[in-house]
Structure 1
Amino acid sequence: MKYQFLTALSLLTLLAFRPAAAQELLAEVSVTTENVTISDPTLVRQMQNDMQSLLNTRAWTEETYRPEERIKLKMFVGITEIPTNGTYKATMRLISTRPIYGTGYETNVVSFTDRDFQFNYSPQNPLDFSRNSFVSNLSSLLGFYAYLVIGIDRDTFAPLGGSPYYDLARNIVNYSANQTTTNEVDGGWREAGSRNRYWILNNLTDPQLQAFRTALYGYYRLGMDIFIEKPDQARTAVMTALTGLQQTAVNRPGTLFARAFFDAKAEEIANIFRTSNNQQQKQQLVTMLIEVDPTNSAKYQTVLR
């Protein structure tokens, strides 16, 4: 009996001191003011800390992430207007990164700007979040982007691996668009916009645009992750992924996710192929990308030099 008691006590002690599973995100949030004045600078710092704390300390999924597996992201919030006390309008830029296997290189996965980032904030009210019901527009915004980043990251590791997290993001879109709890009216949750949260999630979950998501797996897992060991094979995988992206973008021009992808990857794509000895492949790549992404044509032209 004494031995059994000691065994149970030892087990409880081990469980008590076992480190908790790491959270999914490792976020850095920066809040700045643009053409507005906030008399109390501590308010901005607390706002920034509260946003960062919610992103980093909450368990967003049921998965276990080791500390080195946490998804790094940077969120830049620039307050542009304060319509009333405690109400803020801002722009937000989000960048998330992913390590490349066997290297110290981290690549941008998401680069997205939200120009309609508006919310209420009071330092006296703790920032909280619910998967299934509206708490505040700020918590909805942070939760939506948390699931978007996690979903896209999972798509890079497994074909369509992000689906469960897009479903959770959809819950946020639906309850935030229809909320009557507060006076926060945010058109970014509704179909009426063009380059907003509703449409980027719509792009990611539209079956007709599924090639975008499968291309993420081809680009990262089958391409970038083997580039150090098998550069030619990696370039072939990346080329295949980009061809799928190009075909879908041509069929559905103006697709928001395609724009976000090439904004994040144009320079990297050029670097991948610039050192290739396959001139035919390089010419094919440049011709294809200038058609689908003319904004970055100058970067792609450097591949041929």
Structure 2
Amino acid sequence: MLRKFLAVLPILVLLLAGPAARAQELLAEVTVSAENVTISDPTLITQMQKDIREFLNNRAWTTQPYADNERIRLRMFIGITTIPQNGTYNCIMRLVSTRPVYGTGYETNVVSINDKGFNFNYSPQMSLRFSPNSFDSNLASLLGYYAYLVIGMDHDTFSKLGGTPYYELARNIVNYSANQTNTNEPDEGWRGTGSRERHVLLDNLTDPQFEPLRTGLYNYYRQGMDVFIEKPEEARTSIMTALTGIQKVAITRTGAFIFRAFFDAKAEEISNIFRTSQDQAQKQQLVAMLTEVDPGNSAKYQLVLK
């Protein structure tokens, strides 16, 4: 894939480059569900779904060229929970991004995120305008934030700390959105007032104490998954190195949102990777380590020993 060989570009270039010279990075599937609310015009939901999908897929988010087969796949589910007033939607959002494994047809999850405060104003007539340096609407800011988060984490899997410029762009969005006063869309999720807000998630990814997680992404994917088909034992060793580094940080920063996002995406795959290993000591070490830092998925890890 081309992007794994590209150097990190300066943020200034990302901000100033024109969209016409760039290719689209994302290939998103978007589902909007209104099963928990009453909608008088069901075509509104169809249009909302289309507008969100096109916003994510048709916009050039970076200056890097992406071939069609290099676009980052993601699935986004938006469930409308309440409609406080006409045109205002309170939602939950689930996002899963994936990445292909070199030399195979397998798509591996990179991150799984739940946002329980995905709230915005929308009408079919609105134009979704976006800049990482200003606030136009909460929906545009939400989508832009998650776009850069997904792109950043994808780049971290191809080069060590390769996602940094995109996390900085996401930081711009957080700051402008948290401080905006020109709309009637206040959103506490931008302000970092709880344990799972967007501000906190980005803090996790940019905190130097969490660097072993980000370098672990490179070891897990580029030096692990991408060579697994040819060198399975070397790949498992690299993945163990990645998970050991992640464990050390997770113990000191118990409950950090980013670890939940990582293990929700990876627990089943990790179990499958090590179930076929012939190294019993390695398997026992893995299960003990992950049961400690991710007890919610302990049943999946126990399958490694069977």
**TM (normalized to structure 2)?**
0.92
Q: Which residue of 1 is the match for residue 190 of structure 2?
A: 189
Give distance in 2, aligned partners of 1:112 and 1:282: 28
Q: How does 1:1-305 map to 2 (within 5 A)?
A: 22-305=23-306
Query: Which letter maps to 1:152?
Result: M
Runs of 4+ in 1 over 3 A off after TM superposition: 19-22
Secondary structure of residue in 1 paired with 2:140: helix
Query: 1:173, 1:198 within 8 Å by CA — same for their partners in 2?
Result: yes
Query: 2:201, 2:258 within 8 Å by CA — same for their partners in 1?
Result: yes
Structure 1: segments with no counterpart, 5+ residues: 1-18
Q: How far off its partner does 1:191 sit?
A: 1.7
Secondary structure of residue in 2 paired with 1:110: strand
* Number of residue equivalences: 287
Query: 2:75, 2:96 within 8 Å by CA — same for their partners in 1?
Result: yes
Q: How far off its partner does 1:110 sit?
A: 1.2
Give distance in 1, aligned partners of 2:194 and 2:253: 17
Which structure's CA Rg is the greater one?
Answer: 1
Q: How far off its partner does 1:123 sit?
A: 1.0
Query: Which letter maps to 1:96?
Result: S
Secondary structure of residue in 1 paired with 2:264: helix
Higher relative contact order at CA 8 Å, sep ≥6: structure 1 or structure 2? 2
Q: Which residue of 2 is the match for residue 10 of structure 1?
A: none
Q: How far off its partner does 1:34 sit?
A: 3.7
Give distance in 1, aligned partners of 2:260 and 2:21: 38
Q: How far off its partner does 1:179 sit?
A: 0.3
Deviations along 1:225-278, whole A, 9 cap, x unmatched? Answer: 000000000000000000000000001111111111111100100000000000
Between 137-146 and 20-29, the greater mean CA deviation after superposition: 20-29
Q: Which residue of 2 is the match for residue 3 of structure 1?
A: none
Give distance in 2, aligned partners of 1:60 and 1:257: 23
Q: Percent identity?
A: 69
Secondary structure of residue in 2 paired with 1:55: helix
Q: How far off its partner does 1:159 sit?
A: 0.2
Query: 2:22, 2:64 within 8 Å by CA — same for their partners in 1?
Result: no
Query: Which letter maps to 1:190?
Result: R
Query: Which letter maps to 2:116?
Result: R
Q: How far off its partner does 1:131 sit?
A: 1.5
Give distance in 2, aligned partners of 1:216 and 1:196: 22
Query: 2:22, 2:62 within 8 Å by CA — same for their partners in 1?
Result: no
Deviations along 1:55-87, whole A, 9 cap, x unmatched? Answer: 011110011101100000011000000001110
Q: How far off its partner does 1:141 sit?
A: 0.2
Query: 1:127, 1:139 within 8 Å by CA — same for their partners in 2?
Result: yes
CA RMSD of aligned residues (A): 1.0
